[in-house]
Amino acid sequence: MVEIRFGEFEICRPRLKHDRSLAKTVRLRLVEVREANPPEGVEPLHWRLLTSHTVADVAQAWRIVDWYQMRWIVEQLFRVRKSQGLGLEESQVASAERLMKLAAAAIRAACTDIQLVRERDGIHGLSSSAAFAEDEIDTIEALSPTLDGKTARQQNPHPLRSLARASWVMARLGRERFQAIHEGRIIEIITKLYVEIPWWSSPRDRHSHPP
């Protein structure tokens, strides 16, 4: 169980700051979350979050906490894009314009990877269209029956055209070529090899968003 409290306060401009155009004070909100009665031997959770957003009630305080929790997903995005995934920093592209295009493509692929990992159990009930185009979904659906095993536990248990079903297909493709490793890591490798990264001339319409 966790407890939460919140309040407002002002911080002053540093005395040694020479830019006097800055405001003398800035009003911020503090949201403090701590774990009550943590398990023995476990360091209790304790966050102190500062924000400029309005925090007038408990619901708004929990919203700030939810936003802070999203930072772990952002960090995972950069991890997948770089050293533990797509290896963007190893690129030898010299042109800034080409590097920007490569970075955009890597972010798109990393987002797909994270969506597959987070939805591998189907807990959010997302459609495959959250991450794939219709022709990609058709390909995934065509592949799925060919990857089923002989027993019930070796067959894709997820609904047709669901993102969880696509995640299962990616993982099964990996079993034929790589040693199975813990949780979503295998999906990271397979996404690199099997998901094409198309370009669109206009923003793509998404019917749902990653959790």
pLDDT at 79: 85
Give the pLDDT score at 63: 96
Which pLDDT does position 57 carry in this prediction? 93
- 69 CB burial (10 A radius; 0-12, 13-18, 19+): exposed
Residues 6+ apart with CB under 8 A from 177: none
Burial bucket for residue 89 (CB in 10 Å: 0-12, 13-18, 19+) = exposed
Dist CA 59 CA 80 (whole Å): 32
Q: What is the CA radius of gyration of the chain?
A: 22
Residue 207's pLDDT is: 37
What distance lies between CA 198 and its chain's CA centroid?
20
Averages of pLDDT over each 10 residues, the chain, 211 residues: 91 80 90 90 92 95 93 86 80 86 86 89 94 91 91 93 94 58 42 40 36 39
Task: Please report the pLDDT score of residue 190 as a whole number.
Answer: 45
pTM, two decimals, is 0.62
Residue-level pLDDT at 166: 93
